[in-house]
């Protein structure tokens, strides 16, 4: 399998790429791509654990913030290190990296739903939008040979930054200070509204790009 061309033009891409190249040149050899992938997944475990533990105190949310940092470090560097050292394994790397990414994101979104800050149904709605857009990205990589990691100027790093800000807001305001608004007989916190809006946005991007690519393939008779 030939690795698909990666398109990453998110707002922080240029700065992030320079930082990753600087780290790759200085990272000890024992930090292999597989170990970095494992570190990124461990970060996701810490994120979920922090959210769940916040039922017993908001200070645990800082564990989630730390987990996001570990997740970024491992997930952003595993492929970068493999390319820098010219030790890529396209099939294995593509399969393992993206499989664990999907599992990691599912894990910490479930953690959010089990926290006192967000309902499980709204958390899962946000997750469904992410998974739909991921499916589109992977199918497009197979059909068009291009993996687009940027949508509306945002990519994985911007999403992590938004989630870190969201987590800090949870810490600042606390579950007892969150205002709940009645909608269709249900109570939703601002954090629930965030998840619902994000889910709608990601789903809308999925529908738009899927329709666009489908029309393109139909016109080409492919």
Where do we find the tokens 């393939």? Answer: 217
Q: How many domains does the chain have?
A: 1
List the domain range (segments joined by +) for residue 86: 5-220
Q: Are 75 and 37 a contacting pair, CB within 8 Å?
A: yes
Phi, psi of 154 (to 5 degrees): -115, 150
Examine the pLDDT at 17 and tell me if it is beyond 70.
Answer: yes
Segment among 7-21, 40-54, 112-126 with least mean pLDDT: 7-21
Confidence of residue 110 (pLDDT cuts 50, 70, 90): very high
Closest alpha carbon to 95 in 42, 150, 33, 53: 33
Q: What pLDDT does residue 74 have?
A: 93
CA 18, chain centre distance (Å): 21
Structure tokens of 90? 């396209």
Where do we find the tokens 């709608």? Answer: 200
Q: Which residues pair with 6 in a beta bridge?
A: 147
165-205 pLDDT per residue, tens:
999 999 998 877 555 656 655 677 889 888 999 999 999 99
SS3 content of the chain, % helix, strand, coil (to 5): 75, 5, 20
Q: What pLDDT does residue 108 have?
A: 92
Examine the pLDDT at 148 and tell me if it is beyond 60.
Answer: yes
- The DSSP symbol for 2 reads P
Say which residue, 109 or 143, is predicted with more confidence.
109
Domain harbouring 132, CATH code: 1.20.120.1760
Q: What pLDDT does residue 141 have?
A: 83
How much is the pTM? Answer: 0.89
């Amino acid at each position: 399998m030939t690795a698909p061309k990666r398109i990453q033009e998110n707002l922080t891409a240029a700065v992030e790429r320079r930082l990753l190249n600087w780290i790759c040149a200085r990272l000890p050899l024992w930090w292999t791509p597989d170990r970095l992938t494992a570190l990124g997944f461990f970060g996701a475990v810490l994120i979920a654990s922090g959210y769940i533990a916040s039922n017993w105190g908001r200070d645990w949310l800082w564990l989630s913030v730390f987990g996001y940092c570990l997740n970024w470090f491992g997930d952003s560097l595993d492929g970068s290190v493999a390319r820098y050292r010219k030790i890529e394994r396209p099939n294995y790397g593509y399969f393992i990296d993206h499989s664990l990414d999907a599992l990691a994101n599912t894990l910490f979104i479930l953690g959010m739903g089990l926290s006192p800050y967000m309902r499980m149904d709204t958390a899962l709605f946000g997750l469904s939008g992410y998974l739909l857009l991921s499916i589109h990205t992977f199918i497009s990589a197979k059909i068009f040979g291009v993996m687009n990691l940027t949508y509306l100027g945002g990519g994985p790093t911007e999403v992590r930054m938004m989630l870190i800000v969201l987590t800090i807001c949870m810490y600042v305001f606390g579950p007892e200070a969150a205002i709940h608004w009645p909608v269709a007989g249900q109570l939703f916190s601002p954090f629930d509204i965030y998840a619902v809006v994000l889910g709608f946005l990601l789903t809308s991007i999925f529908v738009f790009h899927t329709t666009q690519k489908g029309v393109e393939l139909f016109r080409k008779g492919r």
